[in-house]
Structure 1
Amino acid sequence: MAEVLIVGAGPVGLFMAALLLQSGVRVRVLEQRTERDQHSRAIGIHPPALDVLRRIGVAQELVAQGVPIRRGIALGGGRQLAQMSFAGVSYRFPFVLSLPQSRTEAVLEQRVRELDPGALHRGVRLTGLHDDGGRVGVEGSSPAGPVRHSAALVIAADGVRSAVRTLQGTAVRAKHYPDSYLMGDFADSTCFGPDAALFLAPEGIVESFPLPGGLRRWVIRLDRTMPAWNPETNPGPNNLPGACWLAEQVRERTGIDVDAGSNSMLSSFGVRSRLARRMVTGRTVLIGDAAHEVSPIGGQGMNLGWLDAVALAPLVLAALQGDGVGAQLRSFERSRMTAAARAVRQSEFNMALGRPFGGGLLNIRSHAIAAAAAVPAVNSFVARRFTMQ
């Protein structure tokens, strides 16, 4: 019988499972998806997250598969405005690692299976959750029929549409933003190598990140006054009209030609933040996006979830040994929600920086960024903030 049920087998749930399994805890992971999502989605792994991923022995494998981004450059008006090195942000990992989420999940799932081949149960859709004060029972459905499990604790890492949070009736504080973006992965046609590039275009920000396999991700801010790309009429990475539209926008804003025919991923997204009113309810704990959704701009969400998990693990071990951890759980909740709120503020700043600026305001922004980056102390501070230090 499981001591801990983890709901969700994304990167956060799998990491939580590996942490507990290697400490001898009997764990079951329940996942609604029948197989891993191959969409690349999140790609940035920050130094603090790499440090905690070392605890389950996967950090070096992830680094071997990814692209270490050691420098970011800002460009505008056809010239380089600033550069920011990550050399001083971490002793072990002085970079942001670029690796598609699907490959990160594959490494984490392999580690879970090494620790317990039977821990992961896919195709389980939760329909009920009951906490009697001593154990938590969950009910669900699967292709094989009804599913019932119980455990001393339930950890929900089931994402922004968390079934556990819904079944609990836990409210969220939500904020919607006017920003929307389109991103796509293409063959890398730039000379940036492993550098990240930020283009401060009048129409809005353009971000560019290297990916493994000679690919590069492009992210553009969609101007509300322009006819936006429609994923319903131009769906999928192999649909050339959608890829051509993004490639044309990149060329117009940056002057860089992108081969639309090399597109392997295309996705649009809006932006919102949602913070759960509470992370801890009885014997159930929300972590990751189930507890706090932040803007993808800045790439902090997945990393926040891993830091939730590593902070929670010792409290889970203590609780299973019969120790009272009520005060520690309240402290955990306060500290992790404070970190999430800080991430929300950072993402709001990032989005504001990337909104359209016209005429003199664009020049003021460009000069301000160049001047700030030229001050070593400011440059170092921004690098640390960007990498979640």
Structure 2
Amino acid sequence: MTTERVDVLVVGGGPVGLFAAALLAARGVAVVVWERRAEPPVGSRAIGIHPPSLDAFAAVGLDGPVLAEGTRVRTGVARSGGRPLGTLSFDRASDSHPYVVTLDQHRTETLLRERLADLAPTALRTGTALTGLDRHPDRVDATGTGPDGAPVVLQAAFVVGADGARSVVRDLIGVGTSGRDYPDRYVMGDFDDPEHPGDRSAALVDVGPDGVVESFPLPHGRRRYVALVPDDAAFAAGTAHGEPDPAVAARLAALVAARTGVAPDPTSCSMTSGFGVRRRAADRVGVGRVVLVGDAAHEISPIGGQGMNLGWLDAAELVPLLADAVASGAAGPWPDYARRRQASARRAARQAEANMALGRPLGAFGAAAREALLRTALSLPSAHGLARLYAMRWS
């Protein structure tokens, strides 16, 4: 069996792994991506692309294609029971991109695959699963199974683990995680947009007393609704690939109508999914020549839409270090990188927790106090600072 040799092996061909590989290829680094899924990307799942990610995409010419397909969200509107509380504008959140872009994850992944194919046509190896890592001072030997079940062997100067919350890379290098699970359960679905035309480019957050409903415009006249739901397994189940479940779509549409006064058409639903929430952080970002990025390094609540973007920003900061190390023959780890990325993950996790707390059911007095707090916060001149936080412009 011939052993292939490359500079960097990226394990995981989702949004984060593909972006890391594209950045590496753009710098002339020989990169291979092992992705266990053989099928092309499907489903909308994560949809938010924040300004720092759009800036990072420019390094591989991906910002233009994403902007051409995505929907630009320029304002966020807070409501309670359908009544407006205030509006947050993103016009001062970023000099380069004063908006958040929404795009179905399968389209983002497809654009990333296409860009990687332009830069390194043979880099992506689908249907290939990692089974072992043997670490040496000057290299890492990776073993796996290919699409036909045959063994594959690869030798790399570095390995990047971008293989998600259940990371095989993390397990193979013996890195544990710590964190907590939350009781909150959410259901989301994509519908034809039923909102008033004046709100169809805005993110909407309704914090009524029965629990939050968030919604975000999507391309092609659609809208994603995300609702906090009771602890009801049947309601929150969804499906593995986000295919629409008619019963879940009907219940979600009815819940949205009851809480907000806006009634999505359940027959227009193209995706339903239920999810719980947990927070996890790897005990270490990496070991020697193996580095973790994205959910493999830190998993946070999807509420706020920061997780995928955190992974992209991990990659944007890591790739120059890897490229320099490949060129010089140096080895990791890079403690300053680890500290910065762990700090960013903690900050994003705290913000996600605050978002969840803001949307939980409250009694009449608590709901009134929350409404007053939001009205005040959104009316102050300093509200642009909140917009920068939500747009992940932390400095």
Structure 1 and Structure 2 fold alike (TM over 0.5) = yes
Q: Distance in 2 between matches of 1:371 and 1:38?
A: 41
Residue 23 (1) aligns with residue 27 (2)? yes
2:207 alignment partner, SS class: strand
Match of 1:337 among 342, 347, 351: 342
Aligned residue identity for 1:163: V
Q: Distance in 1 between matches of 2:384 and 2:174?
A: 43
2:201 equivalent in structure 1: 194
1:307 alignment partner, SS class: helix
Match of 2:219 among 212, 216, 233: 212
Residues 81, 154 of structure 1: alpha-carbon distance in 2 compared, 3 angstrom cutoff: same
1:313 equivalent in structure 2: 319
Q: Deviations over 1:24-50 (max 9, x none)?
A: 111101001002331111100110111
Residue 239 (1) aligns with residue 242 (2)? no
Aligned residue identity for 2:201: P
Residues 232, 326 of structure 1: alpha-carbon distance in 2 compared, 3 angstrom cutoff: closer
1:182 equivalent in structure 2: 187
Residues 234, 331 of structure 1: alpha-carbon distance in 2 compared, 3 angstrom cutoff: closer
Residue 142 (1) aligns with residue 146 (2)? yes
Q: Distance in 2 between matches of 1:109 and 1:287?
A: 18
Residues 315, 243 of structure 1: alpha-carbon distance in 2 compared, 3 angstrom cutoff: same
Q: Deviations over 1:121-140 (max 9, x none)?
A: 01111111110111101111
Cα displacement (A) at 1:9:
0.7
Match of 2:309 among 292, 299, 303: 303
Cα displacement (A) at 1:167:
1.2
Residue 91 (1) aligns with residue 95 (2)? yes
Q: Distance in 1 between matches of 2:178 and 2:304?
A: 21
CA contact (8 A) 2:157 2:289 kept: yes
Match of 2:65 among 38, 61, 66: 61
Range moving further from structure 2, 152-161 or 233-242: 233-242
1:198 alignment partner, SS class: strand
- Per the normalisation by structure 1, the TM-score is 0.96
CA RMSD of aligned residues (A): 1.7
Aligned residue identity for 1:253: R
CA contact (8 A) 2:285 2:297 kept: yes
CA contact (8 A) 2:239 2:273 kept: no
Residues 102, 315 of structure 1: alpha-carbon distance in 2 compared, 3 angstrom cutoff: same
Q: Distance in 2 between matches of 1:28 and 1:105?
A: 16
2:328 alignment partner, SS class: coil
How do residues 106-145 of structure 1 correspond to structure 2 at under 5 angstroms?
106-144=110-148, 145=150
2:389 equivalent in structure 1: 385
> How many percent identity over aligned positions?
46
Match of 2:275 among 269, 278, 282: 269
Q: How many residues align?
A: 386
1:204 alignment partner, SS class: coil
Which runs of no fewer than 5 residues in structure 1 stay unpaired? none
Which runs of no fewer than 5 residues in structure 2 stay unpaired? none
- Per the normalisation by structure 2, the TM-score is 0.95
2:169 equivalent in structure 1: 164
2:91 alignment partner, SS class: coil
